[in-house]
Amino acid sequence: METKINFLKFLFKFFFTVIVLVIVTFIGLKITKMLLYHPYTVKKFGTFDGNKDFIVIFHGVYGKSETLEPIAKELENRGYSGINIQYPTTDGTIEKLSEKYIIPNIEFISRTVKKSNIERKKKGLPEIKINFITHSMGTGILRYYLKTHKLDNSGKVIFLSPPAHGSELSDNPVADALKSTLGESVAQLKTSDNSFINSLGEPDYPCYVMIGNKSSNFLYSLIIPGVDDGMVPFKTSRLNNCKYRVIENATHTSILKDKRTIDEIIKYLENQ
């Protein structure tokens, strides 16, 4: 009888522990999802007077618009106008994120540029262009857009820390198992030949890739073979037809506020 009671106690403790672990895990995933979610906002910079090229800027996975503020501020100081888009990267696939948050803003800028160019043509002035600066996963969103849409007055494109041909972090089974928490877009950045990111092809427009060579996360670097910036491996960051520069000792995120990066962006935009 005592053995039976002890066995029942064991079963109770076991199932109670399992239930607690399930609840804790569920709550943990919910909290993680909340922390990774950043609401959609669009910040304008510059005067929008139509005297210089327009710039569209947006961040990468789990990012915020504020991470690109150092770049936006310097562009504004140099007379550029544009928008800095913040979007919830966990809200669906790259296609959905593009259609829902990025394309409407590009269309707005496109209409603004067309209107400005009509006036500039009357004055005998050259047309202004729409340039792009994107970071990390945002580079994949932009590449998807430029592959599937024709954009008049398209200018130069700058890709910062791009997982151009994927990252081993996305190859990890966790990216598929926790799609509802980490976002569906993360799993689209696999290094396999048939992954979404590798279906986008090579750019047919002027572009520049910049990446750091210092890891920001040694645990991630254990998963990524070779040199990486903490999230993206060098070997998958290159794109054909794009200029390429390594920003020494910059990490995946510190590259965004590095003066060398910002100076190189201005130099690239202003050199014909």
Who has greater pLDDT, 36 or 254? 254
Residue 20 has what pLDDT?
46
How far apart are the C-alpha atoms of 86 and 114, rounded to whole Å?
24
Which pLDDT score, from 0 to 100, does residue 219 have?
86
Sign of the four-CA dihedral 63, 65, 67, 71: positive
Locus of tokens 């689209």: 188
The answer to pTM > 0.85 is: yes
Rg (CA), the chain: 22
Model confidence pLDDT, tens digit, residues 166-214? 999 999 888 888 787 888 999 999 999 999 999 999 999 999 999 999 9
The predicted structure's pLDDT at residue 68: 97
Q: How do residues 208-242 score in pLDDT, each as one tens digit? A: 999 999 998 888 898 899 999 999 999 999 999 89
- Give the pLDDT score at 3: 67
Residue recorded with tokens 């947006």: 58
Tell me: pLDDT of 162 over 50. yes
Cα gap 42→10, rounded to integer Å = 56
Q: Residue 16: is its pLDDT beyond 50?
A: no
pLDDT, average across residues 88-94: 95
- For 127-158, the pLDDT digits (tens) are 999 999 999 999 999 999 999 999 989 999 99
pLDDT score recorded for residue 29: 47
- Please state the rounded mean pLDDT for residues 243-252: 96
Q: How far is residue 15's CA from residue 218's CA, in Å, rounded to a whole number?
A: 37
Q: If you average pLDDT over every residue of the chain, what do you get?
A: 89
Residue 110's pLDDT is what?
95
